[in-house]
Amino acid sequence: MSLNALLKPKRLSFWESLTAWLFVSPWIIGFILFTGGPILASFILSFTHWDIVNPPQWAGIENYQDMLQDELFFQSLKVTTIYALIAVPLQIIVGLLIAILLNTKIRLIGLYRTLFYLPAILPVVSVAVMWRWILSRDWGLINWLLSLLGIQGPGWLSEPEWVLPALILMSLWGVGAGMLIYLAGLQGIPTDLYEAAKVDGAGTWALFRYVTIPMISPVILFQLVVGLIGAFQVFSQPFIMTQGGPQNASLFYLLHLFRNAFEFFRMGYASALSWVLFIYIAILTVLVFRFSAAWVFYEGEIKNE
């Protein structure tokens, strides 16, 4: 038998194809009903005025035009963008540093890794309530610790200039999830590379700069993309802790969208806001991938040359 005959894919019979479609049909039906259908419906509704109670009325691009006069739209987009540009790189750096510290063979290392990962799986609501207490101006833990040093702590959640830094600080609570991914990437680096670099006289910084970072750069790219998408979908923390205040300093995009949809019953406008957010995230993601070729190293590229 020839090699081409062995490699040629086998043609499924009618009953085999039917069986395969029957097995995959629950997912297809679920996607159409609960994901694909709502996506298409929101796109259509973004061109209408709909208050949930009355039938939708066609409005064309009026909802998108209204955004240009909506100051809160630009404020929420600015707040969310600033949060993403600061919080995501900070999470990447802190998560990577913790992973490097935990990438050692010491006693009880499994326990330490578990302790750093546990905060990432706690419910968001309970974490937000806990941090609301920690960041309290009068009886919060952080201001109490600052008072021991003779420093009067600010109103983390009550002063416009401090509320966004406070939420960025809080975002580091969940770096354990990223730490776990970095740890897997670090353990996948061949030890031969470190040994060869040491023979050439590389020090600790050189090993980190020229071996560790290039080898885990695909992991960093993954964390950057996922982190950006997640940062632009922050909702629970500002909703529970600040309600967008003070003075809209913590008015995140999804909070503004939520208010228009479920407080003001402007479902058409909220749908338009969601599609603008989708396009904005898509553009940022494409830009990240576009410029990733300059700093992301794939081991297979060397093997294929």
Alpha carbons 59 and 98: distance in angstroms, whole number:
52
179 and 115: one domain? Answer: yes
pLDDT computed for residue 202 by the predictor: 87
Residues 142 and 178 in one domain: yes
**pLDDT surpasses 60 at 23:** yes
In the predicted structure, residue 250 carries a pLDDT above the cut 70: yes
As given in the structure block, the two tokens for residue 127 are 């974490």
Using a pLDDT cut of 90, give the percent of the chain over it.
76
Same domain? 41 vs 72: no
- Tell me, yes or no, whether 152 and 13 share the same domain: no
The residue-averaged pLDDT of 55-65 equals: 94
Looking at the fold, whether 102 and 13 belong to one and the same domain comes out as: no
For residues 36 and 85, membership in a common domain is answered with no
Helix residue ranges, H only, 118-235: 124-134, 141-148, 160-171, 175-187, 191-199, 204-207, 213-231
Q: What is the mean pLDDT of the chain?
A: 90
Q: Identify the pLDDT of residue 1.
A: 47
Residue 60 lies in a domain: no
Identify whether residues 26 and 127 lie together within a single domain. no
- Angle of helix 109-117 relative to helix 71-102, nearest 10 degrees? 170
Residue 217's pLDDT is 94
| Residues with Cβ within 8 Å of residue 273, at least 6 apart in sequence | 67, 73, 253, 256, 257, 260
> Which of the four pLDDT bands, split at 50, 70 and 90, describes residue 99?
very high
| Banded pLDDT at 298 (limits 50, 70, 90) | confident
Residues 21 and 165 occupy one common structural domain: no
Report residue 282: phi and psi, to 5°: -60, -40
The predicted model gives 89-106 an average pLDDT of: 92
Q: Per-residue pLDDT averaged across 206-235, rounded?
A: 94
Judgement on whether residues 299 and 179 belong to the same structural domain of the protein: yes
Asked whether residue 50 is assigned to any structural domain, the reply reads no
Which tens digit of pLDDT belongs to each residue from 140-150?
Answer: 999 999 999 99
Locus of tokens 């919060």 = 140
pLDDT of 4 reads 55
Residue 61 pLDDT exceeds 50: yes
Q: Does 82 map to a domain? A: yes
In a domain, 188, yes or no: yes
> Exposure string (b/e) for 100-133, b if CB count within 10 Å is 16 or more?
eebbeeeeeeeeebeebbeebeeeeeebbeebbe
> Residues 175, 273: one domain?
yes
| pLDDT interval class at 17 (50, 70, 90) | confident
For residues 110-127, give the mean pLDDT.
91
When pLDDT is averaged across residues 41-56 and rounded to a whole number, the result is 94
Determine the pLDDT at residue 107. Answer: 87
- Please indicate, yes or no, if residue 216 is contained in any of the structural domains: yes
Q: Which structural domain range is residue 193 located in? A: 65-304
Q: Are 246 and 230 a contacting pair, CB within 8 Å?
A: no
Flag the least confident range among 276-280, 290-294, 298-302.
Answer: 298-302
94 and 127 both lie in a single domain: yes
Q: What is the mean pLDDT of residues 52-80?
A: 94
Q: How far is CA 208 from CA 11, 22, 58, 99, 199, in A?
A: 50, 51, 58, 13, 15
pLDDT bucket at 11, cuts 50 / 70 / 90: confident
Query: Mean pLDDT lowest for which of 41-45, 188-192, 223-227, 270-274?
Result: 188-192
CATH value at residue 129: 1.10.3720.10
Cβ atoms 186, 100 nearer than 8 A: yes
Per-residue confidence at 106, pLDDT binned at 50, 70, 90? Answer: confident
* Per-residue pLDDT at 7 exceeds 70: no
DSSP 81-110: HHHHHHHHHHHHHHHHHHHHHHSS--TTHH
Number of domains in the chain: 2
Q: What angle (nearest 5°) sits at the alpha carbon of residue 219, between those of residues 126 and 96?
A: 60
* HSE value, Cβ hemisphere, 13 Å, CA-based, for 171: 28
pTM of the model: 0.88
- Model confidence at 305, pLDDT cuts 50, 70, 90, reads very low
pLDDT band at 247 (very low <50, low <70, confident <90, very high): very high
* 9 confidence band (pLDDT: 50, 70, 90): low
Asked whether 49 and 66 are in contact (CB, 8 A), the reply is no
113 with 80, same domain: the answer is yes
* DSSP line for 30-98: HHIIIIIHHHHHHHHHTTEE--SSSPPEE-TTHHHHHHTT-HHHHHHHHHHHHHHHHHHHHHHHHHHHH
Q: What confidence tier does 303 reach under pLDDT thresholds 50, 70, 90?
A: very low
In a domain, residue 58? The reply is: no
